[in-house]
Amino acid sequence: MKTAITEMFGIEHPIIQGGMHYVGFAEMAAAVSNAGGLGIITGLTQKTPQDLANEIAKCRDMTDKPFGVNVTFLPTVNAPDYPAIIRAIIEGGVKVVETAGNNPAAVLPHLKDAGIKVIHKCTSVRHSLKAQEIGCDAVSVDGFECGGHPGEDDIPNMILLPRAADELDIPFVASGGMADGRSLVAALAMGADGMNMGTRFIATKEAPVHENVKAAIVAASELDTRLVMRPLRNTERVMTNAAVEKLLEKERELGSDLKFEDIVDEVAGVYPRIMTEGDMDAGAWSCGMVAGLIDDVPTCKELIDRIMAEADAIISERLVGFQKRAAVNA
């Protein structure tokens, strides 16, 4: 399959692994890229820009295929050293950057000058148009279903993707709720040139996370995610657990008086305990509704090959079959 996205990024299949905190290490990115997709290292998971440079070098040793780095612009008080992060990416010879969070305009000229393609992940048509206007090469359109931060508009992909297709001139991928060949064909039908997956890639053999995380995703249904931090306008879709239910209780009690300090125990610094140590009740961790469609732990290659085979069969058998049936009955 060739699309604007496979051509732009020089990859075999139109499938991207979105940046994921404490998941997007070199092992994850290399496994996805070796399977013909675009793997992405999560920049901010690395403690220093030098650690990121080392992780990029490690990934390069593990794959000769293109891979990217995610740079998330957080509304934090102690901002990471973004200029040094961007330098590590450029000096590491990375050719694709996935930006997310706030507007990436400040770093864009440096990335473009270095010949790096930028795909900005955002959750609305207006932010997608802004990304196009400031010179991003592509957008990852993240619907309300997505694991992580779906924004505050709550527009699911069935509406968001065709709306993006109507407005955008640059290519985009569908993100949020994507799991299999059906997702890919549906995304393509709605105007996307590929798909981005987060949660699905955590439940793979190579994902460098504790087995408990993979088991939790396989066990979960589509009913098992919750939206937290909505009162702070920093909504995050997470897997439910005891800590999350406690957090929601605090949100109900405090209402609009809720402050970040009130929920710090449930959200701050919990990722290493969950992803590395497998302490599944340590706090809130991002997970998509798509967990309901995930019931195995394949290798990245098995997963991507299966998605592409299923997509081909849907297009050439199921969809073409409808046209053939119509022709026979005509």
- Least CB distance to ligand FMN at residue 237 (A): 8
CB of 329 to ligand FMN, least distance (A): 39
Pairing of strands 195-197, 172-175: parallel
If the CB atoms of residues 17 and 132 are measured against ligand FMN, the closer one turns out to be 17
Please, which residues have CB within 8 angstroms of residue 284's CB and are 6 or more apart in sequence? 228, 236, 238, 241, 243, 244, 247, 266, 267, 270
List interacting residues with ligand FMN (CB under 6 A).
Answer: 18-21, 23, 42, 70, 72, 100, 121, 142, 145-148, 175-178, 196-200, 285-288, 290
Residue 36 or 288: the one with the smaller Cβ distance to ligand FMN is 288
Decide whether 128 or 286 has the Cβ nearer to ligand FMN: 286
Nearer to ligand FMN, 198 or 231 (CB): 198
Which of 109, 63, 64, 65 shows the shortest CA–CA distance to 90? Answer: 109
CA distance 305 to 290: 19
Find the shortest distance in angstroms from Cβ 245 to ligand FMN: 19
- What is the helix (H) or strand (E) element at residue 84, kind and residue range? helix 82-91
Nearest CB to ligand FMN, comparing residues 107 and 287: 287
Closest distance to ligand FMN from the beta carbon of 119 (Å): 11
Query: CB of residue 150 vs ligand FMN: minimum separation in angstroms?
Result: 8
Distance of CA 210 to the CA centre of its chain: 19
Structure tokens given for 131: 């990304």
In whole angstroms, the minimum distance from the beta carbon of 53 to ligand FMN comes to: 19
Q: Which is nearer to ligand FMN, 237 or 252 (CB)?
A: 237
Helix (H) or strand (E) holding 249: helix 242-254
Both tokens assigned to 168: 């955008």
Closest listed residue to residue 124, CA positions, set 164, 97, 162: 164
Separation between Cα atoms, residue 237 and residue 151, nearest integer Å: 10
Closest CA to 139 of 148, 151, 126: 126
CB of 251 to ligand FMN, least distance (A): 21
Nearer to ligand FMN, 73 or 246 (CB): 73
Which residues face 265 on adjacent strands?
none
